[in-house]
Amino acid sequence: MCLYRALARRIGGERNFSRSSPSSPGMGREQRFERIESVSIHFTPDDWISLRQALSFSLFTGKEITIESSLLEDNPFYHPVLNDFGRFLLSHNLGVLTVKDTIHFEPHPVKGISFEFEADSWTPLSEVFLLLLPALSHADFRSSLVFSGVTHAPFSYPPNFVQETFLGALELIGFYAHVSLKKFGYYGSGGGVVNARVYPVEQREGEVSIKSVPEILGGRVYISKMSIDIARREKELLMHELDLDDRLVSIIEVRNAEGMGNVVQVFARHTVPVIYSKTIIADFTGDSADNLFDSSLRDLAGEVRDLLESGMLPLHLLQEIIPYLMLSGRDISPLIRHNAILEKTVELTEKLIG
């Protein structure tokens, strides 16, 4: 797509965030840790969650880390995200991130209680929030965050997934945070606004059940500055693919949005509310665009059918919550059995927090 070619053109050279920077706004009791030896980890391609988690838990533990990965060569749209990670961390005196042939991060103690950041128009704000969450949840104070940038991107989670699904699962084991969407901002346009609060972790006896009897609650089509006919087509296709009644699928025309965009979501009941979401970005029109919308919706419906057939929480959600389960002392053996991706997540987490 032209969008990705344009993105590739604006990515160039290495990023080195090594200048001095002012202290973060708002000071609190800093997170205590001892600087230890550098940890070198090699990542397999196409594993962005693991790469982000490595940086996230490096910040939490204070462990300096070097990451070797071919991920950036194969997926250039992650470059702006790492670029913004580096800008944010440096501007709030949280560490120095260098992206060359390898990715190197030297974390600093977390001192801030209030964070503001304007991200690039290619950086999903959910990724910045997830980067910070382990460190902020183990601080002795409540943290507040105000971010502007991309709220809906094809390769990241929308704010309502983070709030309802991801944080809904973490709340069961004592991790408390809140994320609220104030303005839509689509991938390539930015300009969206998300507010968040993170509270100190607490002891809690709850458990996350990975298997249940799920139920589809309905669907929703968001459309911004695009033809409403697209939303109607998507609604009909979603109803057909998932055998949903007309009353269960709604169309919302979003006026408080930066840029044009389209998001389709399906809501399901499980141990926690599960939100499946597709953000569809098209910078062309005609039959090719129709094919893109149709294939994206069929992929979404396929993921929902997998949930209904297996009864298991989505793999990407399990990969995100496993480190928090380990931090809280939960037994994770039932989750990772015979799953190579989750076993690697455990291995990474043990290396970083062990």
Q: What is the pTM of this model?
A: 0.87
Paired tokens of 43 = 């990542």
Note whether 280 and 231 are same-domain residues.
Answer: yes
Same domain, 300 and 324: no
Spatial distance between the Cα atoms of 221 and 204, rounded to a whole number of angstroms = 36
Place of tokens 């965050």: 145
Domain range for 67 is 2-208+314-353
Number of domains into which the chain is organized? 2
Same domain? 92 vs 167: yes
Locate 282 and state its tokens: 């098209």
pLDDT tens digits, one per residue of 209-248: 888 999 999 999 999 999 999 999 999 999 999 999 999 9
Q: What confidence score (pLDDT) does residue 291 get?
A: 72
Average pLDDT of the chain, as a whole number: 85
Helix (H) or strand (E) holding 241: helix 228-242
* CATH number of the domain within which 27 lies: 3.65.10.20
Helix and strand totals (H; E) in the chain? 12, 14
pLDDT range class, residue 11, cuts 50, 70, 90: very low
Statement to judge: residues 40 and 189 lie in one domain: yes
Residue 258's CATH number: 3.30.360.20
CA angle 142, 275, 164 (to 5 degrees): 20
User: Which tens digit of pLDDT belongs to each residue from 299-308?
Assistant: 999 999 999 9
Judge whether 307 and 271 are in contact, CB under 8 Å: no
Residues 251-263: pLDDT tens digits?
999 999 998 999 9
Same structural domain, 262 and 124: no
pLDDT tens per residue, range 176-195: 999 999 999 999 999 999 99
Residue 345's contacts (CB-CB under 8 Å, 6 or more residues apart) are 49, 50, 53, 319, 322, 323, 336
